[in-house]
Structure 1
Amino acid sequence: MSDLALVGIDLGKHTFHLHGQDKYGRELFRKKLSRQQMMRFFANLSACTVVMEACAGAHFVARELTAMGHQAKLISPQFVKPFVKGNKNDFVDAEAICEAASRPSMRFVSPKTEAQQTLSVLHRLRESLVGERTKAVNQMHGFLLEFGVSLPQGLAMMKRLASVLAEHELPVRLTVLLQRLHDHFVYLDEQIKALDKELVCQLADDDLGRRLLGIPCVGPITASLLAVEMGDGQQYGCSRDFAASVGLVPRQYSTGGKANLMGISKRGDKNLRRLLVQCSRVYMQRLEHQKGPLADWERSLLTRRHSNVVACALANKLARIAWAIAANHTEYEAGPSTIAA
């Protein structure tokens, strides 16, 4: 297979479908292999470009193929779908991946390292535990409300549930059940705090994460997730490209030479976008204590736009600042204020 130039892989859990073609796009082979067979096949194959959809397991396969000397590329599945010809099957999907990768203007996803994937797992685990903790709190509120006990919102009241139960005459069996639910809440809260400490420790050893912490109102959770999603930032041409990948730029629907910009596109990682918007809202709450060009720009924008619009605009700005710090290997500098206090 000396003419082999490109191999498309339709990834699966146990079986993988391969489509190989030469530099002219002519099909050379189609294979259905297990995971072990596929790794042996590529180990005995001369160096070529291997393309896959960016999905579960793709980053691991990309790292393994790169170690064998191949060039591994990942494509977002939404860019592959238009190239599927006729009825859908696994071999047609593999061929469509090759067709999409052949486009000169195609955008690729950078494979993540093991450290980035591990940190991503930590974030998803923490998010899951936070959701379970919120569910437990809401259940306790609902159960108590059915017996005429209305508690204020927040986690502080849940942590002293024993004193609340002592103040009200409730059925003994209900008290036992609520105490069991409260023990589950305490366990989840301890697990979340342990993950937060682990996150801070990992961030202290990461140079990029440490520099991202210098951005105003960006904490360890947002900084570590930015480091995971962005990497060194070289896969993005400019700061706006990164902001667009997070979904913080206007969605465009233009025709006939008339530009029509709508709300933000909300593409990419919704968790990262939510964290950036939360950081911007915290910045707005403490705006009177902020200095520098960013604070001046924020104050002037608030005089003519709604606070929700300003929050999204500032989140866009924070994403651009984060990309500049990663791509240029610099640190955040507030700079002098341009508006007199």
Structure 2
Amino acid sequence: MLRGRLAEFGIVLPQGLAKMTGFAKDVADGSAPDSPEIGPDVLRLLSGQLLSSGPLMRRPDMRLETITRADRQMKLLRTIPEGKPVTASAILASIGSGGQFRNERQFAGSLGLTPGNDSGEGKARQDHEDGAGVSGNCASWA
């Protein structure tokens, strides 16, 4: 909300709680940027609200981090590059145990990360097993 209000005054700030908190501290210290008459008052009010609610805003993230450390599946999902607690919990919530997928390719396909069975270089493609059978099983990590 604060970034939106600042944009109305032509002030653009980067995204992120740390950047906004730093800006709010600057405003609280009296270094509000140039803005119309009501601007500094609004900025002080919104900055004060942000600074006072900071610990409350971090509480869900800390709780999710604790849950992620305790859950084996979420730990595994965190090994994905850029895997964060929110990403891991969202994937786990949407796929459950992963038993509905025969292999990793099906899982990736459900996310739209692989071409469908009937696409690829203009030829129809059928799933096939290699000599050892289906490679991997997503249910094995459940």
Interval containing the TM-score (normalised by the shorter chain):
0.5 to 0.7
The aligned counterpart of 1:231 is 96
1:164 and 2:31 equivalent? yes
The aligned counterpart of 2:7 is 141
Task: Specify whether residues 327 and 188 from structure 1 end up closer, same or farther in structure 2 by C-alpha distance, changes over 3 A only.
Answer: farther
Matches within 5 A, 1:210-249: 210-249=75-114
* Aligned equivalents of 2:140, 2:118: Cα separation in 1: 33
1:68-89 deviation digits (Å, cap 9, x = unpaired): xxxxxxxxxxxxxxxxxxxxxx
The aligned counterpart of 2:70 is 205
Letter matched to residue 182 of structure 1 = S
Task: Check whether the contact 2:102–2:138 (CA below 8 A) recurs between aligned residues.
Answer: no
Taking structure 2 as the reference length, the TM-score comes to: 0.63
Task: Check whether the contact 1:213–1:223 (CA below 8 A) recurs between aligned residues.
Answer: yes
Task: Check whether the contact 1:212–1:218 (CA below 8 A) recurs between aligned residues.
Answer: yes
* Aligned equivalents of 2:117, 2:54: Cα separation in 1: 42
1:100-154 deviation digits (Å, cap 9, x = unpaired): xxxxxxxxxxxxxxxxxxxxxxxxxxxxxxxxxxx431222323x2xxxx45534
Aligned residue pair count: 123
Identity of paired residues, percent?
21
1:153 and 2:14 equivalent? yes
Deviation at 1:325, TM superposition (A): 8.5
Letter matched to residue 164 of structure 1 = S
Unaligned runs of 5+ in 1: 1-134, 261-323, 331-341
Matches within 5 A, 1:1-341: 135-143=1-9, 145=10, 150-155=11-16, 156=19, 157-159=22-24, 160-162=26-28, 163-165=30-32, 168=34, 171=37, 173-186=38-51, 189-250=54-115, 258-259=122-123, 327-329=139-141
* Relative contact order, higher structure (CA 8 A, sep 6+): 2
Letter matched to residue 177 of structure 1 = V
Letter matched to residue 217 of structure 1 = E
SS of the aligned residue for 2:8 comes to helix
* Larger Cα-atom Rg: 1
**Which has the larger share of strand?**
1
Q: Give the RMSD, CA atoms, in angstroms.
A: 3.3
Taking structure 1 as the reference length, the TM-score comes to: 0.30
